[in-house]
Amino acid sequence: MSEGGRKIILVAACALIDTDGRILLAQRPEGKSLAGLWEFPGGKVEPGETPEETLVRELQEELGIQTKIPCLAPLTFASHTYETFHLLMPLYVCRRYEGIAHGREGQAIKWVRPQALRDYPMPPADEPLIPFLQDLL
């Protein structure tokens, strides 16, 4: 199959930033695809949702934090061909939210300085996103 023959999966992801300018990464749990890798919180955009709505929902479900659509600013996107699908993943930045992030689904989380992002193995789609965050922060 050519790369263009794969279905496109739309996933919304968020770089959550704390007051020290660190970024939250979450570790993908055992049993999932890409287990053990560090990723941005988020998930698949469900039918009838906007990417922003997906993120407000996922940040609550995964991390127990509350944010609002105007607090999500688009930064860049990933476009990456995996074996079985093509991932299109807008990356938002969020600095305004309520609550204290914790891994509600058993996943490890970590606040990481921009210059240390490369110390955390990430899915291949994520690697081109790192310089955008380092330039921003």
Ligand X SMILES: Nc1nc2c([nH]c(=O)n2[C@@H]2O[C@H](COP(=O)(O)OP(=O)(O)OP(=O)(O)O)[C@@H](O)[C@H]2O)c(=O)[nH]1
* Candidate residues 13, 16, 59, 63; the one interacting with ligand X per rule CB under 6 A: 13
Tallying the residues shown for the chain, one arrives at 137
Token pair in block for residue 101: 């992030």
Minimum distance from residue 125 beta carbon to ligand X (Å): 4
Nearer to ligand X, 44 or 68 (CB): 44
Token pair in block for residue 84: 């079985």
* Candidate residues 16, 23, 24, 40; the one interacting with ligand X per rule CB under 6 A: 40
Helices and strands (H and E) in the chain: how many: 2, 7
* Candidate residues 32, 102, 113, 118; the one interacting with ligand X per rule CB under 6 A: 32
Distance (Å, whole) CA 132 – CA 112: 15
Q: Answer yes or no whether residue 79 interacts with ligand X by CB under 6 A.
A: no
Q: Answer yes or no whether residue 103 interacts with ligand X by CB under 6 A.
A: no
Distance (Å, whole) CA 2 – CA 31: 28
Token pair in block for residue 45: 């955009």
Distance (Å, whole) CA 30 – CA 54: 23
Q: Answer yes or no whether residue 123 interacts with ligand X by CB under 6 A.
A: yes
Q: How far is CA 93 from the centre of its chain?
A: 10
Minimum distance from residue 52 beta carbon to ligand X (Å): 15
Q: How far is CA 133 from the centre of its chain?
A: 12
Stretch that binds ligand X, among 69-77, 93-101, 107-115, 120-128 (CB under 6 A): 120-128
Q: Answer yes or no whether residue 11 interacts with ligand X by CB under 6 A.
A: yes
Q: Give the residues lining the site for ligand X (CB under 6 A).
A: 11, 13, 32-34, 39-40, 42-44, 87, 123, 125-126
